[in-house]
Amino acid sequence: MYFSSHLSAGLLAGALVKNPSLALGLGLISHGALDSIPHHDYGTVRAACLDLGLGLVTLRFFRTSFPNLSLALFWGAFGATVPDLEVVLKHLFPNYKLKGIYPSHNGKIKHPQRSFPCGVLAQFIMAIICLSLTYRILK
């Protein structure tokens, strides 16, 4: 699942609970839920970098637009995206041998894949729904 997709769900978590600690926990849970939806993963480093940039701009927009909930939004987004750090480490360091810790990365939660474009479209729709709901809740 793309960074921006996970981030969108994490922002929604922060908007729903409005509490940084709860947002972090809900964000972590959302990561597994999203990974269980058939999706497309990055094919290139360039795509990953572009998506990372898009996600960070989105995070900045929501945090500056709603400063009273900035911490809850940040921690929800952090919780939703941080599990993929272990995936990044595996790609950056080919000799990285540690088994995945997060359940959708070690096989305890299924992580189904879909080819392009269907897997990307599913994520795009999910991200738009999450961001729309987040904005509606916060407005």
Report the distance separating Cα 55 and Cα 2, nearest Å. 9
Going by pLDDT thresholds of 50, 70 and 90, the confidence category of residue 105 is: confident
Find all residues with CB under 8 Å of 16, minimum gap 6, and list them. 26, 137
Question: What is the tens place of the pLDDT at every residue in 27-51?
Answer: 999 999 999 988 888 888 899 999 9
Determine the pLDDT at residue 109. Answer: 81
The 3-state DSSP class for residue 22 equals helix
> Is the model's pLDDT at 132 over the cut of 90?
yes
Determine the pLDDT at residue 28. Answer: 97
Determine the pLDDT at residue 25. Answer: 98
Determine the pLDDT at residue 73. Answer: 98
Going by pLDDT thresholds of 50, 70 and 90, the confidence category of residue 24 is: very high
CA dihedral 11, 12, 18, 24 (to 10 degrees): -60
Question: What is the tens place of the pLDDT at every residue in 82-102?
Answer: 999 888 888 788 887 777 888
Report the distance separating Cα 15 and Cα 121, nearest Å. 24
Looking at every residue in the chain, the average pLDDT score rounds to 92
Mean pLDDT computed over 22-31: 97
Structure tokens at 126: 């999910």
Determine the pLDDT at residue 89. Answer: 84
Q: Are residues 123 and 1 in contact, defined by beta-carbon separation less than 8 angstroms?
A: yes
Determine the pLDDT at residue 38. Answer: 87
Strands (E), the chain: none
Which of the two residues, 6 and 101, has the higher pLDDT score? 6
Structure tokens at 4: 């921006």
